[in-house]
Chain A
Amino acid sequence: MSNTAFVPPNVLPPFKLRFAGLLKRKWFREMVLLWPTLTKRRFSNKTEDYGVFKPSLVSHIGQLSIYVRDIARSRAWYEKVAGMIHSRTCELEPHPFKEGWRIRCCYMSATDHEECLVLVEEYDPSGRITVPSGMSFFHFALEVKGNQLEDVLAFAKQQQADGFQLNYGPVRHNSEPPLGDGETGGNVACYLYDPDWHNVEFCGAMDTIENYRERYGELKGKDRA
């Protein structure tokens, strides 16, 4: 399939993108949530938010592989936008779980994370490249160097100056004006679509167990609701 005009169904249309910016206004969020408020279905996130007090068995996300239609085009985008470093592009290899299919892998690195992103061209048995559906993941996030609010704002400004359109943000995923959009996590973020409409978040300053404890001590979310 070589349908370059394909746009996944979860990609926000332009008119919705205009509304997205209004999420930073409390009156707009209240208007959107008017129906669950009136019907008493609305609830606070606080009952579950930040209930993290013990480690898991996992340390970090090691790698993510995503399908792309054109490695060269995607590589150029991740180099230009994210400043990622091309590590290597491999020869065709058998698809790991589709009999008769083949893949080509391009490994991209971030400054502190070697080969964290793999751009994968997938070929069906007849040799045709497939088109990513856009419906396996909502987005993935790359942390911006510096990891502070100012760094993400500067990153967003840099992309706009270079002519790349943000599909959302910069926002802060909490309820604090002027950037807060009412969401959770505390991370400052801006979002861009890559050439295959994969939604990529560029973020920093996410809440941690340490700054949660500074604010609330040992109180779990349900105890402070």
Chain B
Amino acid sequence: MNAPTRILVTHLQHHVFYVTDLERSKAFYIKVFDLQFSALNHPDSSAAMRLSQQEMHFFSFGFHHHDICLVKHHKLKMDNNSMLHFTLAVKDAEAFDEIRRRARDMDLPIREGRMLASARPVSRAFCLQDPDRHWIEIIEEPSR
């Protein structure tokens, strides 16, 4: 008898990370990337958030309900010691240029190239930090 087929995962779907100030981070992600605010889970409206003492703001890239979520833990302090970076792939070359222009206008320090020296090359890449010093890598992928 054949062993049952394992169920695999197809891709990284969304990322939910801690921030210290939800409104500040919300403004940052909307201003730099045009992310769409899609939902709010608050301890006064969500039983799960009330039990876990957290508040979560959901953001969409424009198709799925959420792609990244910002979480504030009301009792614990966040840090940057379990994640090195995350990467946002842009829609097209114009989007890459637009994000770079906005970052420059906001005087955000820019780090050129990929975050990890061992990462595969892409068409273009640069990195910046959000208000909580999470490193975000922005990449333009080669045309397929």
Contact = CB atoms under 8 A, between A and B. Distances in A.
Given A83-B6, A185-B65, A58 B90 contact: yes
A66 B82 contact: yes
A143 B10 contact: yes
A48 B39 contact: yes
B91 A59 contact: yes
Report which residue of A12, A63, A141 has the largest number of chain B beta carbons within 10 angstroms of its beta carbon.
A63
B85 A61 contact: no
Interface string A114-138: 1111101010000000101111111
B34 to A, nearest CB: 4
A162 B60 CA distance: 34
A57 B117 contact: no
A180 to B, nearest CB: 11
Given A50-B65, A62-B141, A83-B8, A133 B82 contact: yes
A105 B116 contact: yes
Contacts of A114: 120
B47 A96 contact: no
B92 to A, nearest CB: 8
Interface residues of A, number: 99
Contact of A206 (B13, B116, B137): B13
A44 interface: yes
B139 A57 contact: no
Nearest to B62: A55
Contacts of A45: 39-41, 45-46
12 contacts: A33-B44, A42-B44, A51-B36, A55-B34, A58-B34, A58-B61, A64-B86, A64-B87, A112-B10, A138-B71, A142-B12, A203-B14
Closest 4 CB pairs of A and B: A55-B62, A113-B11, A62-B87, A83-B8
Interface of B: 4, 6-18, 33-48, 50-52, 54, 56, 58, 60-69, 71, 73, 76-91, 95, 98-99, 115-120, 134-135, 137, 139, 141
Interface of A: 8-10, 12, 16, 19-20, 23, 28-29, 32-33, 36, 41-45, 48-67, 82-84, 90, 93-94, 96-97, 103, 105, 107, 110-118, 120, 122, 130, 132-147, 151, 154-155, 158, 181-187, 196, 198, 201-203, 206-210, 212
